[in-house]
Amino acid sequence: MNLFKIPYLAQLNIVKQLEFHELFLLGLCSRRSKLLSQCVNHKFDATVIDVIDGCLQVQNTGLEGNDVVKWASMDNPGDDGWLYDEVTNWERKIEFEYRGAKIDCRISFHPEKEIPIIWCKERFKKKISLATHSALCDISNISPILQVMCSMDRLWEFPDVDEIDNFYGYGTSNDIQELLQFFNRVTIRNSVRLTDWPSFFYDISFPLASVDHLYVENSRELAGRHLEFFDVRSALFCKARGVEDHHIINFIRLWLDGSFEKLESMWIMMGATQLSQESLTEIFGAKHWDPTRRAARFKYPDGLKLLYEDDILDLRNGVDIERPSDGRLATIVFEGEQFRFFVWKESRFPEQLEPVTLRMEVEGREKSVFVLGKTYF
């Protein structure tokens, strides 16, 4: 059936029944079909290039993405060999264009995910993810920000691009040269999330330590002396066993002396510690909350999305220190083995927002958690 030979309202009724990946494929066919596919509203506002699974995802900012299209190599399918063997018709062709280069592809459909698979030559594999991303953002009017997920031990699969917005590095790598080349070549404009902190910190310190937002799930390889190198807006280091009491004290002193100019939030989950909020109050002459000097709630930077069971942005029980050089205020909270440091950078009395909470199931029980930040994939 020729879609454009039926009345326009009938066309609209048909395309409204299509899945998102079907709208994407329709939009690739012609300028007219692209305009028709754009008549359908959708809820997505961002994309994720998932190099680990070879899929392009669409998402609502802050929520887990949905696979919309997969790419694979025709001449070197590797782990996708079983999908290659499923293809019975290689005559279905599709063409993408990226940076002036035309990429001839074949198309099939994933038997389980029920999404299209774009097959290309191996030499185009690091470009096809970017080509599909560019096409989807154009057709669907989605923000073209680049968010990439990749295994740290397979960085050679990373897309052929030198600048991205957000990066999620999964797993570990013992290849120092590959890590060096990656972090020196790729500029990450906004945020980095790592499952594991690399042990070769001194070699890759500058590009990784100067990203705006940093979240490390396993920071066992992070040495406390590394803290002085960071120039971030926000950071969370979990399982930071190498950070000791004197490193925290030195960090605060460096801030008081004028370091960490970008910093808004530093959160460190340590190992054993003798520090407490009382001891830090005594060491630095910190003051208890004065409602005439700052607000009760801190406005968390719009960095990586975090879920936590406690409302850590309620700082009425925090203690404050003031930097002599510019009068900037910072609030210290030390609870158990957790050190949190918040800098009142833009305003001491930001617009007061209500806490953002989310109901989720934890160990079979539903409970509320507090939401910080926005970037998640």
Instruction: Count how many Cα atoms sit within 13 Å of the Cα of residue 67 in the half-sphere of its side chain.
Output: 17
Our CA dihedral for 186, 377, 56, 185, rounded to 10 degrees, sits at 0
Best CA proximity match to 49, nearest among 182, 157, 140: 157
Measured distance CA(217)–CA(173) in Å, rounded: 15
Task: Report pTM.
Answer: 0.92
Matching residue, tokens 């594991």 = 196
Question: Rg of the chain over CA atoms, in angstroms?
Answer: 24
**In sequence order, what are the beta bridge partners of 268?**
237, 339
pLDDT at 205: 58
Matching residue, tokens 């699974």 = 53
pLDDT at 100: 86
pLDDT tens across the length of the chain (377 residues) = 578 888 889 889 999 999 999 999 999 999 999 999 999 988 899 999 999 999 999 998 888 899 999 999 999 999 999 999 999 999 999 999 888 889 999 999 999 999 999 999 999 999 999 999 999 999 999 999 999 999 999 999 999 999 999 999 999 988 888 888 898 899 999 999 999 988 766 555 567 889 999 999 999 988 888 899 899 999 999 999 999 999 999 999 999 999 999 999 999 999 889 999 999 999 999 999 999 999 999 999 988 899 899 999 999 999 999 999 999 999 999 999 999 999 998 889 988 778 988 887 767 788 888 999 988 88
Measured distance CA(151)–CA(175) in Å, rounded: 13
Q: How far is CA 298 from CA 73, 213, 264, 340, in A?
A: 48, 17, 10, 12
Helix, strand, coil tally for the chain in percent (to 5): 30, 30, 40
338 within 8 A of 266, measured Cβ to Cβ: no
pLDDT at 257: 98
Matching residue, tokens 């609030």 = 331
pLDDT at 311: 96
Strand 265-270 vs strand 234-240: parallel, antiparallel, or unpaired?
A: parallel
Provide the residue ranges of all domains of the chain, joining segments of one domain with +.
3-140, 212-372
Measured distance CA(321)–CA(74) in Å, rounded: 61
